[in-house]
Amino acid sequence: MAARMNHTVLPPGADDRDLLTALKYVIAGQDDVTISTPEGSAPLPDSVRRLLVDAVTALDRGQAVTVEPHRTVLTTQEAAELLGITRPTLVRLLEAGKIPYSSPGRHRRVELADVPAFRQHERARRGQVFEEMAHEETPDPGDAADGFVSTR
């Protein structure tokens, strides 16, 4: 059986909603999951299990799901698209050492795993900056007792 390179699944009808709920309950649980057929059985790896939980959750919400494989080594354009930034901005990040890359020949290549790692690191860094800003004290001018501050 040949695998398709991408596949979109539309949300099921109302008749299959109960099946989705039951499936989500089983695969999202703490117990190991094994897939069985008359030909044999195999344990479900955690990475595939997380993918299935996300897909079933989206389908249960009435959303369509597309599964599309990605290469593990990306061009700068592909990496920039995944991050939602321009290619020149990505190149600046690469040259600043923010994202690791390799240069086989004259083109830069980025590992797929480094793209979401960078995104997560940036979210954490921004959250920390916002937290620090929230705790900064703003001095209240002493002459502002009436709520107005003289600017002249």
Tell me the DSSP string of 76-87: HHHHHHHHTS-H
**CB–CB of 74/112 below 8 Å?**
yes
**CB–CB of 100/108 below 8 Å?**
no
Beta-carbon count within 10 A of 56 CB: 21
Kindly state the DSSP code that residue 14 receives in the 8-state scheme.
G
pLDDT in tens, 109-143: 999 999 999 999 999 999 999 998 888 776 655 55
* For residue 23, pLDDT beyond 70: yes
* Amino acid letter, 31: D
Task: Return the residue matching tokens 């790896």.
Answer: 45
- pTM, to two decimals: 0.54
